[in-house]
Amino acid sequence: SKVRVSKVYWTENVTEHREVAIRCSLESVGSSATLYSVMWYWNRENSGSKLLLHLQHDGLLEYGEEGLRRHLHCYRSSSTDFVLKLHQVEMEDAGMYWCRVAEWQLHGHPSKWINQASDESQRMVLTVLPS
């Protein structure tokens, strides 16, 4: 099976110090023997892309940098939906967000988790308004 992430146009205005949730959805879910990992990225005009966090297929959450731990949270809210939550949004959080979801399946003897395929969402635009 080939993992497909919905390409939905999304843009949101949020007032600073509030929180916002950005969603990444799969069009369909593989068999129960399929696990998923998701990486969330951010960038802004004139700045390179930054890996924010990586929710691994085994459920381990890795942050791109330690300081993001207080500010960001990522979880799977349903079988098809992954959510990135930003707490206490700051002006500098404005920019483009996107996710890359990878599909993992067990293969071989002894069995190992193998990355089968991955797909990326469209760029989602977050605008932050001063409070």
For residue 71, count CB atoms less than 10 angstroms from its CB and return exposed for 0-12, middle for 13-18, buried for 19 or more. Answer: middle
Range of the domain at 21: 11-129
Q: What is the pLDDT of residues 5-45, one digit of tens each?
A: 999 889 999 999 999 999 999 998 878 889 999 999 999 88
- Residue 35 within a domain: yes
- Residue 105 within a domain: yes
- The count of domains in the chain is 1
CA–CA dist 70, 66 (Å, integer): 9
Instruction: Find all residues with CB under 8 Å of 93, minimum gap 6, and list them.
Output: 42, 86, 126, 128
- Residue 3 within a domain: no
Predicted TM-score (pTM) of the model is 0.93
- Residue 1 within a domain: no
- Residue 125 within a domain: yes
Q: What is the pLDDT of residues 77-128, one digit of tens each?
A: 999 999 999 999 999 999 999 999 999 999 988 999 999 899 999 999 999 9
For residue 76, count CB atoms less than 10 angstroms from its CB and return exposed for 0-12, middle for 13-18, buried for 19 or more. Answer: middle
CB atoms within 10 A of CB 24: 26
- Residue 52 within a domain: yes
What are the structure tokens assigned to 25, written together? 């959805």
**CATH no. for residue 82?**
2.60.40.10
Amino acid occupying residue 103: E
